[in-house]
Structure 1
Amino acid sequence: MKTVTFRQLRVFTEVARNLSFVRAAEALHLTPPAVTMQVKELESAIELPLFDRQGRKVTLTTAGEYFLVYAKRLLATLKDADDAMARFRKLETGMLSVGLVSTAKYFVPRLLAKFRIEHPGVDVRLQVGNNREELVAMLADGEVDLAIMGRPPREMACRAEAFAAHPHVFVAPPGHPVLRSGQPSVEMLSNYPLIVREPASGTRALMDRFFQQHRAEPRIVMEMPSNETIKQAVMAGMGLSFLSLHTLGLELRAGEIELVHVENSPVIRTWNVVHLQSRLLSPAAEAFRYFILEEGETYLAEHDRPWMGGGGAGPG
């Protein structure tokens, strides 16, 4: 173990995250043989295999699963030390790791591009969680400095700051009968099939709570873990859905999807920028936190304005 390097740990955790030597090489800007060599040297140092390799399929061994926990801890501690030293240098340089729920990928990259113009010395890495649970795990493991999400985690000590409204809406394909109802009741939606996000999703939790509050039972016919796949299913006429307004800009502009102005909708949540209270933010992370608190609301308000008509109701 004395010969293990942080470079080997970084390569190992990236392979473990992707379960692919090729994708890990792409993420680290290395060649696949270089990644393979680093992992072999690490396995030699700890005298245990960390991965099972069967053709192109890669899985962690039991030892690999245990070692991954400690590798993440070591890398997180090193990042904390680097961030602390950066504060002494008062430099806004280095790596900024931002995690986000999949719904936020429709606007966060544009905000990050604007941030990079003002802070060219910062290298940014985006990590997208397929749902809220994955993002909370990234935050807990120290894989990201900041997380952009809706409902902040209660299972750990975090600082969460709201920076913008996050409307959720019901949608239908053009010409759907529900659109002739004007402002249909929540109960009326029970007559139509719904295509929804998976239970681990924040969007799904919000929809379930909305129906419960109105004492209505949704007619769920399909669950999908992807906003894009749900939109395609709605456009194909397979049912209605409940989605973040921020995922719908292109389809609404093209007339491929229409809003269903259900009573007491849109349902408004907030976007939050979140970080662990136990972690000291680097100057780069602090700069981005301040930037998104200052710029996020204006950007998203301009994004929403063409589609928002009147006030909504729902949990904040």
Structure 2
Amino acid sequence: MLKSELPGHLIRHATLRQLQVFEAIVRLGSFTQAAEALFLTQPTVSIQIKKLSDAVGMPLFEQIGRKVFPTEVGHELYDTCREILGSLTNLEMKLADLHGLKRGRLRLAVITTAQYLAPSILGQFARKYPQVELSLEVSNYDRVLARLANNDDDLYIIGHVPDQLTDVAVYPFAPNPLVVMARRDHPLVGKRNIPIQRLAKEYFLMREPGSGIREATLKLFDQHGMQPKIRMDLGSNEAIKQAVIGGLGIAVLSLHTLSAEGTCGPIALLDVAEFPILRQWHIVHPRRKVLSIVAKTFLEFAIQDEARVRAHIDRMMEDFQQNLNR
């Protein structure tokens, strides 16, 4: 088949459904997962890909072990699929918007600490726009950055924005204070203005290397010529909180991680000099990405929702100060 014949040939022989199936397989990395996501049987998915491969005239996937990977041609087709399907999605939402509706889908990826923040904002958003389909991916910092690089989602919520992320649009939108937490019966609970040097005697429970919270904590300690005694590296905030409750050490985490139980539960905050470390949440997306109407609407909504989030954080800090005064 001549290259000049390809555009007309694909228009005649490839279907949008085949492109949608192909895009889902590449994005999810599995025929089975693509079938489940599209509510199709696996044989149907295989038939659609066979027809698309025949239309292209070259294999689109290669199998290595139990995994499938797109061929070089498959990678080229995937980029085109994303553009075509993205444009159609935007058109659908623009048409809905012309009818005074907000429909479509929002795909949001957030770092694990933001799992305490994102559902609250999404809940408020869903009440205002109940017809929008929502998808929330919660993962560690490195994985979310990888999804950002692959343009897998509409928007991303992270804490620290690394300097090497130069080709992204960044929108600060909510406070993210980092505080020192200890078990309720820890000897330092209730003490005022604890010197940061005093923490050198304590065992610390830390997030894994690469975590923004870990880096911020170690940077502050380094500024004071200190090196914390790290007893454990743990892969989730909940694991750290349980380890704190178990008396294995103290920890620095986002105040948002106590959103459910508040500051009067089994975990207490310590009044340490230099804390809280004041950080901010950011919504980011690739700079050249054309946001859908739904994504733009959510971005504006989240920024406007900052006052509610800030008021919640302020109430938690007030509760902490009141507990100190008792």
Cα distance between partner residues in 2 of 1:20 and 1:259: 48
Q: CA deviation at 1:84?
A: 4.9
CA offsets per residue over residues 222-269 of structure 1, 9 Å max, x none?
A: 111111111111111111111010011334456210111111111110
CA offsets per residue over residues 269-295 of structure 1, 9 Å max, x none?
A: 011111221011111111001100101
Q: Secondary structure at the match of 1:179?
A: coil
CA offsets per residue over residues 31-66 of structure 1, 9 Å max, x none?
A: 6xx24652576379427543533xxxxxx35x4587
Task: Decide whether aligned partners of structure 1 residues 81 and 24 sit closer, same or farther in structure 2, where only a CA change above 3 A counts.
Answer: closer
Higher mean C-alpha deviation, range 273-282 or range 44-53: 44-53
Q: 1:85 aligns with which of 74, 88, 91?
A: 91
Q: Secondary structure at the match of 1:231?
A: helix
Cα distance between partner residues in 2 of 1:85 and 1:102: 33
Alignment of 1:74-153 (within 5 A): 74-82=80-88, 84-86=90-92, 89=95, 91=97, 92-131=102-141, 133-153=142-162
CA offsets per residue over residues 205-230 of structure 1, 9 Å max, x none?
A: 11111112222111111111111111
Q: CA deviation at 1:299?
A: 2.7
TM-score w.r.t. the length of structure 2 is 0.79
Q: CA deviation at 1:94?
A: 1.4
Amino acid in the other structure paired with 2:290? L
Higher mean C-alpha deviation, range 113-122 or range 283-292: 113-122
Task: Decide whether aligned partners of structure 1 residues 268 and 42 sit closer, same or farther in structure 2, where only a CA change above 3 A counts.
Answer: same
Counterpart position of 1:314 = none
Counterpart position of 1:168 = 178
Task: Decide whether aligned partners of structure 1 residues 8 and 83 sit closer, same or farther in structure 2, where only a CA change above 3 A counts.
Answer: closer
Q: Secondary structure at the match of 1:305?
A: helix
Q: CA deviation at 1:130?
A: 1.7
Counterpart position of 1:187 = 197
Answer yes or no: is 1:245 the counterpart of 2:258. no
Cα distance between partner residues in 1 of 2:194 and 2:127: 45
Answer yes or no: is 1:38 the counterpart of 2:51. no
Q: Is the 8 A contact 2:174 2:306 kept in 1?
A: yes
Cα distance between partner residues in 1 of 2:160 and 2:193: 28
Percent of residue pairs identical: 27
Counterpart position of 1:201 = 211
Answer yes or no: is 1:13 the counterpart of 2:20. no
Q: Secondary structure at the match of 1:177?
A: coil
> Tell me, which stretches of 5 or more residues in structure 2 are unaligned?
1-5, 54-58, 322-326
Amino acid in the other structure paired with 1:250? A
Cα distance between partner residues in 1 of 2:201 and 2:73: 51
CA offsets per residue over residues 70-123 of structure 1, 9 Å max, x none?
A: 575344323542355357537232121111111111121121122122223321
Cα distance between partner residues in 1 of 2:139 and 2:301: 22
Task: Decide whether aligned partners of structure 1 residues 108 and 219 sit closer, same or farther in structure 2, where only a CA change above 3 A counts.
Answer: same
Amino acid in the other structure paired with 2:155? L
Q: Is the 8 A contact 2:94 2:293 kept in 1?
A: no
Cα distance between partner residues in 2 of 1:30 and 1:9: 14
Answer yes or no: is 1:52 the counterpart of 2:65. yes
Cα distance between partner residues in 1 of 2:203 and 2:74: 43
Q: CA deviation at 1:13?
A: 3.3
Q: Is the 8 A contact 1:43 1:50 kept in 2?
A: no
Counterpart position of 2:297 = 287
User: Aligned residues, how many?
Assistant: 296
Larger Rg: 2
Task: Decide whether aligned partners of structure 1 residues 214 and 142 sit closer, same or farther in structure 2, where only a CA change above 3 A counts.
Answer: same
Q: Secondary structure at the match of 2:201?
A: coil
Cα distance between partner residues in 1 of 2:243 and 2:26: 35
Cα distance between partner residues in 2 of 1:158 and 1:117: 29
Counterpart position of 1:73 = 79
Q: Is the 8 A contact 2:203 2:250 kept in 1?
A: yes
Counterpart position of 2:317 = 307
CA offsets per residue over residues 2-57 of structure 1, 9 Å max, x none?
A: 669223224313542xx794x6665x2636xx24652576379427543533xxxx
Q: Is the 8 A contact 1:149 1:273 kept in 2?
A: yes
Task: Decide whether aligned partners of structure 1 residues 110 and 93 sit closer, same or farther in structure 2, where only a CA change above 3 A counts.
Answer: same
Higher mean C-alpha deviation, range 80-89 or range 267-276: 80-89
